[in-house]
A = this chain, B = another copy of it.
Amino acid sequence: MTEPARRRGRPSRTGTGSGPGTRELILAAAREEFAERGFEKTSVRGIAKAAGVDPALVHHYFGTKEQVFAASIEVAFAPALQAPAAVEDGPLDAVGERLTRFIFGIWENPATRAPLLAIVRSAVNNETAAAVFRRLIAAQLLSRLARRLDVPEREAELRVSLAAAQLVGTAMLRYVIKAEPLASADAEDVIARLAPVVQRHLTGP
C-alpha cells in the first residue's frame, strides 16, 4: 500500500506537534479576519490569535499573509471552482444559461455569499488581494471555459471576460450596492434575461 500523494504546495502536517484540523482551524479564523477587517488590516498575528495558535504555525501551514489569503479564497471559492466542470458539461449552445445559473446559485446562497462578498471587498480595495483574485479566478475559472470555445485563445478569453463582466456587474448591483429594481427582482427572471446575453458573448457572432 502506498501513502496518499501529498497535496501540492501544502506543507505536511507531520512533525508540527499540532493535531489534525489545525490547518482548517487557522483557515476558518483567517476567513473571518479577512471578512471582518479586510486584507490590509488583517495580520498573521491576528489570525493566529483568533485561531488560538502560535503565529509560527500559521507561517508553517501557509507562508505569508498573501498565501493565507489565497488559501481562504480557494476555500470560499471551492464551489465556484467547480464551475468549469458544471459549466463545461452539456451542449455549448446552452452554456450561457448554465454559467449564469451557476453564478446565481453561489450568490443566492447566504452561506457562499458572505465569503464571496469579503473577497470582492478585499480585491476592490487592495492591489495584492486583487492580484490573488485575478490569478486564482482567471486561471481556474475563465481559462478552462475559454478552452471550450472554438475560437483563437485570446478571442476566447476576451469573450469569457465580457460574459463574466455581465455577471460580475449584476452581482455588484444586486448583492453589493443593492440597487433597485435589480436587488429585489426575481432571480429566475434575471437569469432568463442574462442567459442569452452571456451565451451571445461566448458563442455569438
Interface residues of A (CB under 8 A from B): 38, 120-121, 123-125, 130, 133-134, 137-138, 154, 157-158, 161-162, 164-174, 176-182, 185, 189-190, 193-194, 197, 200-201
- Can you name the residue of chain B whose Cβ is closest to the Cβ of A166? B166
Residues of B within 8 A of A170 (CB): 162, 165, 169
Q: Given A134-B179, A173-B168, is A194 in contact with B124 using a C-beta cutoff of 8 Å?
A: no
Say whether B176 contacts A165, CB under 8 Å.
no
Give the top 5 A-B pairs by smallest Cβ distance, nearest first: A169-B169, A165-B169, A168-B169, A165-B170, A161-B182
Most B C-beta atoms less than 10 A away, residue of A130, A167, A176, A177: A177
- Can you name the residue of chain B whose Cβ is closest to the Cβ of A197? B197
Say whether B201 contacts A197, CB under 8 Å.
yes
Say whether A161 contacts B173, CB under 8 Å.
yes
- Can you name the residue of chain B whose Cβ is closest to the Cβ of A135? B179
Residues of B within 8 A of A168 (CB): 169, 172-173
Chain B proximity of A131: nearest CB distance (Å): 9
Residues of B within 8 A of A162 (CB): 170, 182, 190, 193-194, 197
Say whether B138 contacts A179, CB under 8 Å.
yes
A139 CA to B196 CA in the complex, in Å?
Answer: 28
